[in-house]
């Protein structure tokens, strides 16, 4: 199965799971009188829409290179990540605003059975987080990483809701607002995760080169090619799930232009074979005595 298809299946898994959990949380929050659960449901609902955006971005990023986009359309994935962050910020602000309104208004405490619902949700979201995060690392996908952190932030907000409801139940009269303070904490954590998601995507758009491990692997593979005596500059840019490379390679300075050209092609083909996640590769031959 291709990287792109595997990524799309992972997003669909997240989207269906979030849609189901959002409905469960809304019902439990309404009938269990817990705004923290309703806030949690709002986040899950926003995650469904953000998953749709990620899905669109992944499909668009699959488009092959063309005359106007010689390096392909992989940058679309990072741009979609920005939209996902925007959705998360809106949901965090909405949750915090409504929680503050609830704190100002006296209301009944949450039902005890909502704790069982939250415990099951926390377990499922943590499993989902680890599953999607492993896929994001395997596929080198920034949007899948954002998707994974949606699950982790959802798990954390559910933990906050659990603690808030537990305090409200144990404390009894006068502690009903603990549920709402838990929702405010959840909103703050969502905003913190927004930064964690936004920063790598921004680096990708700005062609930030922080791929030291990949650089080392490229240099190591290059030395296995006959005729290559060493490497100099190695610049890497990430676009979607592919890495575009500019590499300066050393060869014998007495070789003919054609011989140097053939070695460059051998190097390019070897890098493509040994490191499949590489996209466009530009080899510059440096004469070395």
Asked if the model's pLDDT at residue 175 lies above 80, the reply is no
Higher pLDDT, 234 or 146: 234
For the cut 80, the answer to whether the pLDDT of residue 221 exceeds it is: yes
Alpha-carbon distance of 178 to 176, in angstroms, equals 5
Q: What is the mean pLDDT of residues 136-161?
A: 76
Residues of the chain above pLDDT 70, percent: 95
Superfamily assignment of 212-288 in CATH? Cation efflux protein, cytoplasmic domain (3.30.70.1350)
In the CATH scheme, what is the code of domain 3-205?
1.20.1510.10
- pLDDT at residue number 114: 83
**Least confident stretch, 152-166, 211-225, 246-260, 261-275:** 152-166
Cα–Cα separations (whole angstroms), residue 209 to 10, 70, 205: 27, 20, 11
Q: Is the dihedral of CA 70, 64, 210, 79 positive or negative?
A: positive
> Which is higher by pLDDT, 280 or 240?
280
- Domain definitions of the chain by residue range: 3-205, 212-288
pLDDT of 75 higher than 80: no
Give the per-residue pLDDT at 164: 81
| Per-residue exposure over 95-119, b if at least 16 CB sit within 10 Å of its own CB, e if not | bbebbeebbeeeeebbbeebbebbe
pLDDT of residue 7: 76
pLDDT at 1: 55
Q: How many residues does the chain have?
A: 289
Would 3-205 and 212-288 be classified into the same CATH topology?
no
Instruction: Give the pLDDT score at 218.
Output: 95
Q: What pLDDT does residue 219 have?
A: 95
Higher pLDDT, 117 or 43: 117
The phi and psi torsions of 248 (rounded to 5 degrees) equal: -100, 120
Q: Of 40, 42, 41, nearest to 159 (Cα)?
A: 40
**Which pLDDT value is given to residue 283?**
95
pLDDT of residue 142: 67
The pLDDT of residue 107 is: 62
pLDDT of residue 3: 67
Among the residue ranges 18-27, 69-78, 262-271, the one predicted with the least confidence is 69-78
Across the strands, what pairs with 157?
none
- What confidence category does residue 246 fall into, taking pLDDT thresholds of 50, 70 and 90? very high
Per-residue pLDDT, 252: 92
Note the pLDDT of residue 146.
73
Reported as a pLDDT band with limits 50, 70 and 90, residue 223 is: very high
Torsion of CA 42, 45, 51, 52, to 10 degrees: -130
Region of residue 240 (left: phi > 0; alpha: psi -120 to 50; beta: else) = left
| Mean pLDDT estimate for the chain | 83
Q: What is the pLDDT of residue 270?
A: 96
Q: For residues 29-44, give the mean pLDDT.
A: 77
């Amino acid at each position: 199965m291709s990287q792109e298809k595997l990524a799309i299946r992972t997003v669909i898994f997240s989207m269906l799971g979030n849609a189901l959990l959002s409905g469960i949380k809304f019902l439990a929050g309404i009938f269990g009188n817990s705004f923290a659960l309703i806030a949690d449901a709002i986040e899950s609902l926003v995650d469904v829409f953000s998953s749709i955006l990620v899905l669109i971005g992944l499909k668009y990023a699959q488009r092959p290179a063309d005359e106007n986009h010689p390096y392909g359309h992989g940058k679309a994935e990072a741009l979609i990540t920005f939209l996902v962050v925007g959705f998360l910020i809106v949901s965090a602000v909405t949750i915090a605003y409504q929680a503050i309104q609830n704190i100002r208004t006296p209301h009944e405490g949450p039902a005890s059975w909502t704790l069982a619902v939250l415990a099951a949700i926390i377990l499922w979201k943590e499993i989902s987080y680890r599953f999607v995060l492993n896929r994001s690392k395997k596929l080198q996908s920034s949007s899948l990483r954002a998707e994974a952190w949606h699950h982790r932030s959802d798990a954390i907000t559910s933990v906050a809701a659990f603690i808030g409801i537990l305090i409200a139940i144990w404390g009894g009269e006068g502690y009903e607002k603990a549920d709402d303070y838990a929702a405010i904490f959840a909103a703050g954590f969502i905003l913190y995760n927004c930064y964690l998601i936004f920063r790598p995507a921004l680096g990708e758009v700005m062609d930030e080169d922080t791929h030291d491990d990949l650089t080392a692997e490229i240099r190591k593979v290059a030395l296995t090619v006959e005729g290559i005596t060493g490497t100099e500059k190695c610049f890497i840019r990430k676009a979607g799930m592919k890495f575009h490379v500019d590499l300066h390679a050393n060869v014998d300075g007495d070789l003919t232009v054609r011989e140097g050209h053939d070695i460059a092609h051998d190097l390019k083909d070897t890098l493509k074979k040994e490191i499949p996640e590489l996209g466009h590769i530009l080899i510059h031959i440096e004469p070395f005595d």
